[in-house]
Amino acid sequence: MQTYQIALLGGDGIGPEVVAPAVQALETAARRRGEFQFEFLPYSAGAAEYLRSGTPLPDATLEGCAAADATLLGAMGLPSVRWPSGTEMAPQIDLREQLDLFSGVRPIYLYNAAHSPLKRYGEGEIDFVLFRENTEGMFASRKIPADLSASEVRDTLLVTRFATERICREAFLLARKRRKHVTLVDKANVLPTMAFFRSVFQTVAEEFPDVQTDKVYVDAAALFLVKNPHRFDVLVMENLFGDILSDLAAGLVGGMGMAPSADIGGKHAVFQPSHGSAPDIAGKGIANPIATILSAAMMLDWLGGEAQTAAAGDIRAAVRHVMADPANATPDIGGSKSTGEISALVLRALEELPT
Ligand code: ATP
C-alpha cells in the first residue's frame, strides 16, 4: 500500500487545535478507501519556536518539508513575538519562498446560506477559486527593513514574465476543469507593473482558447465580489491583491474558519487554512476546524490518483452534510459548538458515507 509522508507543522495559537482534526479526517478518509495511508512527521516552526531556538523556521523543519510528500500546516506567528525590526515572524511565507510555492490557491465555497452576510445565496451559489501569485509582487521587498527615522521608505512591486506566466497558466488549467472562466484582477489603468501583468496574462490566455476571460481592476473586483460573487469562477492576481481579496472572499462564506488554502509549486505543496493563529481564541476550544479539514481535502486532490481524489470528495461531502444544519457551527459562523464537537460530527459523517 502506498504510504505518504506528511510533514506536520501545527505552529502557533489555534494551529495545533485545527490540525489535529484534519489529521483524523485524512486518516479516516484513507482507511475507508483502503489504497493508501499516511505517516505524519511533526516539525516545529513559528513564533513559539523562535522563542525556544532563535529561529521560527529551523533547518530541520525546512528539510523535513522539502523531503515530505506534502506539508500540512496550522498557523504561524503571534502579534506579541516580533523581529527586532518590529515585523511579525511569518515562517509560512519563508516556506513559500524556499520551496518555490508560487501558486496561492484559495477556494471559496458557500456551505450554508446562514454563514454568509449576503443573504441571497444558498449552498454552492458562491463557488470560485482565487489564485494569488506567491513569490513576488508587492511582497518582493518585504525582507528589507524599514529605516523608521528616514524621510521616505519604498516597497518594490516586482512582476516578472516568468512568475506571471506560471501563475496565470495554473489558473487557466484549473478553470478548464471548472466553469472555464478566468478573471484577471489588476490595476493596469494606473501601474506599469500591472499593465505588464495584463499583457502576460493575455499571452497565456491565447494558449487556452476554450476558456473565457475578463479583466477587472482590483477596486472594482472588491465591489463585484460583494455584489455579484456568483459571476466568478477562477480569479488570478498579484500577491498583495490576493492577500487582501482572499480575506474579503472568505468573509462571503463565513470567514477565515471556512477558507482552506494551498501553496503549490512544481515539486512541493503546503496545505493550510487561510487564517492566522487567532491568539484571541487560542486554547478556548472554539476554533473552527473546517478550513483546515478542507485544506486536507485539497492535499488529497494534489497527491493525485483515483482513490485519493475520491477521498478528497468524501471529506467535502462529509463537511457538506454537517454544515447543512446551521446549528452545526462554531461561534465564528453563528453557532455554539466546540472545535471537538464539529470535528466529531465531520468524522462521523465521513465514516457513514457510502463508499
Ligand atoms: P494572519 O495575518 O497571520 O493571517 P490575522 O491577523 O489575519 O492573521 P487571524 O489569526 O486569521 O488574523 O484571525 C482574524 C480573526 O478571525 C480573529 O478574530 C480570529 O479569532 C478569527 N479566526 C481566525 N481563524 C479562525 C477559526 N479557525 N475559527 C474561528 N475564528 C477564527
Contact indicator for 271, 221 with CB cutoff of 8 Å: no
Region 64-77 average pLDDT = 97
CA-nearest residue, atom 3 of ligand 1:
276
- The residue whose CB lies within 8 Å of the most ligand 1 atoms, and thus the one to mutate among 89, 280, 332, 339, is 332
Predicted pLDDT of residue 131 = 98
Predicted pLDDT of residue 354 = 85
Query: Does residue 288 have its Cβ closer than 6 Å to ligand 1?
Result: yes
Query: Does residue 6 have its Cβ closer than 6 Å to ligand 1?
Result: no
Query: Does residue 92 have its Cβ closer than 6 Å to ligand 1?
Result: no
Per-residue pLDDT of 217-276, as tens digits, reads 999 999 999 999 999 999 999 999 999 999 999 999 999 999 999 999 999 999 999 999
How many other C-beta atoms lie within 10 A of the C-beta of residue 259? Answer: 27
Minimum mean pLDDT range among 5-14, 81-90, 175-184: 81-90
CA-nearest residue, atom 13 of ligand 1:
278
Per-residue pLDDT of 88-134, as tens digits, reads 888 888 899 899 999 999 999 999 999 999 989 999 999 999 999 99
CA-nearest residue, atom 5 of ligand 1:
276
Query: Does residue 275 have its Cβ closer than 6 Å to ligand 1?
Result: yes
Decide if pLDDT at 285 tops 90: yes
CA-nearest residue, atom 7 of ligand 1:
276
Predicted pLDDT of residue 294 = 98
Query: Does residue 280 have its Cβ closer than 6 Å to ligand 1?
Result: yes
The CA 278 to ligand 1 mean position distance, Å, reads 4
Alpha-carbon gap, residue 55 to 52, rounded angstroms: 8
Region 53-64 average pLDDT = 94
Amino acid of residue 107: P
Provide the mean pLDDT of the chain.
96
User: Going along the chain, which residue ranges are E strands?
Assistant: 2-11, 36-42, 70-75, 103-109, 127-133, 181-186, 212-217, 234-237, 260-264, 269-273
Could you give all domains of the chain from N- to C-terminal order, each with its CATH number? 1-108+260-355 (3.40.718.10), 127-146+155-252 (3.40.50.2300)
Query: Does residue 277 have its Cβ closer than 6 Å to ligand 1?
Result: yes
CA-nearest residue, atom 26 of ligand 1:
257
Decide if pLDDT at 146 tops 90: no
Alpha-carbon gap, residue 337 to 279, rounded angstroms: 19
Minimum mean pLDDT range among 49-58, 105-114, 205-214, 221-230: 49-58
Predicted pLDDT of residue 89 = 84
